[in-house]
Amino acid sequence: MNNESAFSHLHPLTLMLWFSFILCATVLTTNPAIALLSLFAASLHRALTVGVKPRQVALMAVFMLAVTLLNPLFSHHGVTVLFFLGGLPITREALLFGAFMSVLCAAAVLWCSSLSLCMTSDKVIYLFGRPFPKLAVLLSLTLRLIPLFLSEYKRMMEVRKACGLYDSSSLFGRARSSLTVFSALVTMILEDSVDTADSMRSRGVELKGRTAYSEYRFRRGDLLTAAVTAAALVFVVLSGAGGYLGFSFYPSVTELPLNSAAVASYIFFGAAALVPSITEVSLWRRLNLTACASDIPTAKNTL
Amino acid sequence: MCFRYPDSEKYALDNVTFTVNEGELVLLCGRSGSGKTTLLRLLKRRLAPFGELSGSILIGGKKAEELTERTAVSEVGCVAQNVEAQLVAETVWRELAFGLESLGSSRSEIRRKTAEISLYYGIEDLYRRRISSLSGGEKQLVNLAAATVCEPSLLLLDEPTSQLDPIASKSLISQVMRLNRELGVTVVICEHRSDEIFPYVDRVLCLENGRLIADAPPKEAAGKSCFFIGAMPAAARVFHTLGGSGVCPITTAQCRSFLSDNYVFSNLPAATVNKNSPAKPAIKLDDVFFRYSKDSPDVLSGLSLSVYKGEVLSILGGNGAGKSTLLKVISGVYKPYSGKLLLSGKNATKRGDIRTALLPQSPRELFVTPTVRDDLIEAAKAAGAFPSGGDVTDEIEAVSKKLGIAHLLDRHPYDLSGGEQQKAAIAKLLLLKPDVMLLDEPTKGMDLEAKQTSAKLVNKLKTIGVTVVIVTHDAQTAALCSDRCALLFDGAIACTDTPGQFFSGLSYFTTPEAHIARGLIPGAVTTEAIAASCRKK
């Protein structure tokens, strides 16, 4: 539970609204300012929650560089030719578009990893379970089966190894061993599901009027986040629809739109994108303050 | 009340009549197949098996089939023996809320009740945990909590401790008794190992072949000699084995005073200990250290142990003492990071001349095919790489006859009963032609009679010349079948001795019979040993 960020404590509905807005806005606007803001905010949030891991940073850099360099090799649109490679023109526009795409992809990847950390299975069940309580039961059952399956698989494999029934000499042997265990496991789980069904029936799964219990509450933080997100959504959608955010790379790179609608969109988008990081930092500050406050009496006691 | 399954001539329950008063704690016992489970399931509307039912079942004065769906769910709670399969949710809180959600309770009500039930059972710290991270005992406690969260007035428990270790089952049983004593919940419990609960129940019902043969308070029930002896507490077993008369003792203290009032004791013949045992060690572990990963603590730390050829060695230890890990180190699944493992004097990296076979805690993990026969063929073929004359089918016939499973060969391994599964698993392992058989908790959840059957099986293995290493929680198992016992504690072997010496040297971690015999008959740790040394005054 160490990876759990302060942001993930928000209500699942707030999280869903926020993540869908940020991801859609990042991917759909084709505006470099939005993409850069998004990447910055995503990196900041990742650094604050998971921390900076040199290997991951390096991997991300290589990925971005690859995307940047690959685009001009395949796309030859654009009017500014930098040089020819094997008779094909390499253009400035294609290079810049590659860079833009790499920023976009990196931001999307980072946000998706945050999403998987924040949107735990519990929250997914809640989102689907509220309108369809029976679906919630099904999801919960499925999610339980996965770790069960894996641990049982490991145990059975170990038993086979201990008895010398595991053929590790060739790839084929290993595959066959795995398949044998896998098929036995499926039977075993089907066998057990009779008991599971009994247990569910005895606790009334067939009764009408099932409710879906959840531990979530809509708090002030949720309201605030939702408000900022909604405002950003309105600005970005309106400016986007009005063409105020328009930016294109081909045939030549246009200027970054800096009209008032666009600037307002950047500001609101930036504010929304920074919400997770702000939540994180404000939690730290509050925790530090209480830690200091509790230090005072102990200091007195020691005197 | 009579009940018959659709395809069967015989009545599964024949003329069973009894009343359970409100707030009673009733123990239902009988051999496996005597109709206990059928009876319990008939009491729960949704679980009632299909078949022909005559007579009537009244619950709270109403006919069971006239109860509304809703009351049938909320008034009667069930806990069954399969710990894992009863759980339906992914997290503990969701599991606890499940029944209440079905009843359509409001959010605040669910919150109150799940909070209350967690406090009652002391499982607040489990509340947010994932089910997959819980231990077996914790899981069954969650099952009990989930069954009682709807505040049932009748609780049905079908061998709830059969998959638990002794310590976890004791704590579960004590929670059940608490429910009954404090909240007045009526409890009908079906239980193999009754030492714990027997003296405290209000009534004992005993089924045999679908007939109710006893319905009496525990003292009277224990006094009846027709009564199924495997279900009795140790005190009553000693009483019956001695052919005692008068009031039957059911607790350790009662039995001690019964013995000292009526009998004089002779010393047991000293066990023949062959000090300079000529047998060579089949397995020798020398200062072995093992841990699962770099940052985890040592599971085995400096363990040294010798297992001699042809002996039965039991290794006892508490929960998480590393018993199963030790077996997996011996069988080569895990490699120690320090220390030596010698198999018949040679380094374990070349495991040519010693073959090990491991019987897992739940034997069904060993079966991978649709019939027992196919599984045996798989094993026989795997061993085929090693020199062995004769046909595969002949070998299978021979082994299955020896273990008495010849009639089960075409059944699906999962359809066998626990005891049959164990026999089939051992047959499979025998076909692998092992020199050393490693048994992981072979008597988990068994009653005394089944334990004795297993002990016989182990002795059979010994006569074939197989060296057996058993790891177990259960002192009784170790006392029944081993040549030597060892105690695994803190990652190393704390002591090794013959069973008699071993258990009379321990004061707490020992058999109930040893508790009874303490100070009266030194070294007596089984009912037979006690009986052998008692002379009537």
Interface predicted TM-score (ipTM):
0.82
CB contact under 8 A, A202 and B73: yes
Count of C-beta atoms within a 10 Å radius of residue B160:
26
pTM of the predicted model, to two decimals? 0.81
CB contact under 8 A, B47 and A201: yes
Residue A217's closest chain B neighbor by CA?
B107
Q: How far is A82 from B272, CA to CA, in rounded Å?
A: 96
Nearest to B99 among A156, A162, A204 (CB): A204
Whether residue A137 sits in one domain with residue A31: no
Residue A160's closest chain B neighbor by CA?
B366
Q: Is the dihedral of CA A83, A87, A91, A96 positive or negative?
A: negative
Q: Which of A130, A159, A218 to mutate to test the interface with B (most CBs of B within 10 A)?
A: A159
Residue extent(s) of CATH 3.40.50.300 domains in chain B: 2-232, 281-511
- The larger pLDDT score, comparing residue B398 to residue A60, is at A60
A223 pLDDT more than 90: yes
Contact list, B67 vs chain A (CB under 8 Å): none
Q: Is A168 exposed, middle or buried (0-12, 13-18, 19+ CB in 10 A)?
A: exposed
Of A175, A202, A229, the one marking the end of a domain is A202
Whether residue A110 sits in one domain with residue A84: yes
Contact list, A144 vs chain B (CB under 8 Å): 87-90, 131-132
Domain that holds residue A250: 7-122+217-295
The arrangement of strands across the sheet holding B436-440 comes to: B356-359, B436-440, B467-472, B312-316, B484-489, B492-497
- Nearest CA of chain A to the CA of B308: how many Å? 20
Q: Is residue A210 part of a domain?
A: no
Of A202, A235, A260, the one marking the end of a domain is A202
pLDDT at B270: 59
Whether residue A12 sits in one domain with residue A74: yes
- Nearest CA of chain B to the CA of A65: how many Å? 35
- Nearest CA of chain B to the CA of A169: how many Å? 13
CB contact under 8 A, B332 and A161: yes
Residue B156's closest chain A neighbor by CA?
A202
Nearest to B358 among A151, A159, A192 (CB): A159
Q: Is residue A207 part of a domain?
A: no
- Only one residue has tokens 């080569």, namely B332
- The larger pLDDT score, comparing residue A272 to residue B516, is at A272
Nearest to A211 among B69, B90, B101 (CB): B101
- Nearest CA of chain A to the CA of B318: how many Å? 21
Residue A298: pLDDT band by 50, 70, 90 thresholds?
very low
pLDDT at B109: 92
Look over chain A and give the mean of its residue pLDDT values, rounded to a whole number: 87
Name the superfamily (CATH) of residues B2-232. P-loop containing nucleotide triphosphate hydrolases (3.40.50.300)
A191 pLDDT more than 90: no
CB contact under 8 A, A207 and B102: yes
- Nearest CA of chain B to the CA of A127: how many Å? 15
Whether residue A225 sits in one domain with residue A179: no
Whether residue A45 sits in one domain with residue A22: yes
Residue A303: pLDDT band by 50, 70, 90 thresholds?
very low
pLDDT at B350: 53
HEC letters along B128-175? CCEHHHCCHHHHHHHHHHHHHCCCCCEEEEECCCCCCCHHHHHHHHHH
Residue A1: pLDDT band by 50, 70, 90 thresholds?
very low
Residue A124: pLDDT band by 50, 70, 90 thresholds?
confident
What is the fold, at CATH topology level, of the domain defined by B281-511? Rossmann fold (3.40.50)
B474 - beta bridge partners? none
Nearest to A204 among B73, B106, B364 (CB): B73
Residue A145's closest chain B neighbor by CA?
B90
Count of C-beta atoms within a 10 Å radius of residue B511:
25
Nearest to B85 among A192, A203, A205 (CB): A192
CB contact under 8 A, B101 and A133: yes
Q: Which two tokens stand for residue B309?
A: 């050829």
Tens of each residue's pLDDT in chain B, 537 residues: 666 666 666 777 888 888 888 889 999 888 777 788 888 888 887 788 887 788 888 887 777 777 788 888 888 899 988 888 899 888 899 899 999 988 989 989 999 999 999 999 999 999 988 888 888 889 999 999 999 998 999 999 998 988 887 788 888 999 999 999 999 999 999 887 777 788 889 998 888 888 888 888 888 888 776 666 667 788 888 888 888 777 888 888 888 888 888 888 887 665 555 545 556 788 888 899 999 888 888 889 989 998 888 889 999 887 778 888 999 998 888 888 988 888 876 665 555 567 888 999 888 888 988 899 888 888 888 776 544 555 778 888 888 888 888 888 888 988 888 888 888 998 999 888 888 899 998 888 777 778 888 888 898 888 888 899 999 888 888 888 888 999 998 889 988 888 888 887 777 777 888 888 888 887 788 888 888 888 887
CB contact under 8 A, A165 and B382: yes
CB-defined contacts A:B, below 8 A:
164
- Nearest CA of chain B to the CA of A221: how many Å? 22
pLDDT at B347: 65
Q: Are B247 and B217 in contact (CB under 8 A)?
A: no
Q: Is residue A92 part of a domain?
A: yes
- Nearest CA of chain A to the CA of B240: how many Å? 38
CB contact under 8 A, B333 and A161: yes
Q: Is residue A264 part of a domain?
A: yes
Residue A147's closest chain B neighbor by CA?
B132
Work out how many domains chain A is built from and give that number. 2
pLDDT at A300: 43
Q: Is residue A211 part of a domain?
A: no
Q: Which two tokens stand for residue B471?
A: 């790891």
**Mean pLDDT score, A198-224:** 87
DSSP assignment letter at B28 = E
**Mean pLDDT score, A223-248:** 92
Q: What percent of chain A has pLDDT over 90?
A: 41
Whether residue A135 sits in one domain with residue A105: no
**Mean pLDDT score, A227-246:** 91
Phi, then psi, of B341 in degrees rounded to 5: -120, 115
Q: Is residue A82 part of a domain?
A: yes
Whether residue A58 sits in one domain with residue A190: no
Nearest to A156 among B44, B332, B365 (CB): B365
Radius of gyration, alpha carbons of chain A? 26
Whether residue A19 sits in one domain with residue A111: yes
CB contact under 8 A, A163 and B73: no
What are the helix and strand counts (H, E) for chain A?
Answer: 9, 2
Nearest to A162 among B70, B78, B328 (CB): B328
Q: Which of B87, B90, B355 to mutate to test the interface with A (most CBs of A within 10 A)?
A: B90
A130 pLDDT more than 50: yes
Whether residue A100 sits in one domain with residue A240: yes
Q: Is residue A105 part of a domain?
A: yes
CB contact under 8 A, A163 and B432: yes
CB contact under 8 A, B73 and A207: yes
Q: How far is B330 from B338, CA to CA, in rounded Å?
A: 14
Nearest to A211 among B104, B150, B369 (CB): B104
Q: Are B362 and B416 in contact (CB under 8 A)?
A: no
CB contact under 8 A, B78 and A122: no
Whether residue A233 sits in one domain with residue A106: yes
A141 pLDDT more than 50: yes
- Only one residue has tokens 């989102």, namely A127
Count of C-beta atoms within a 10 Å radius of residue B169:
25
pLDDT at A301: 44
Nearest to B429 among A155, A163, A180 (CB): A163
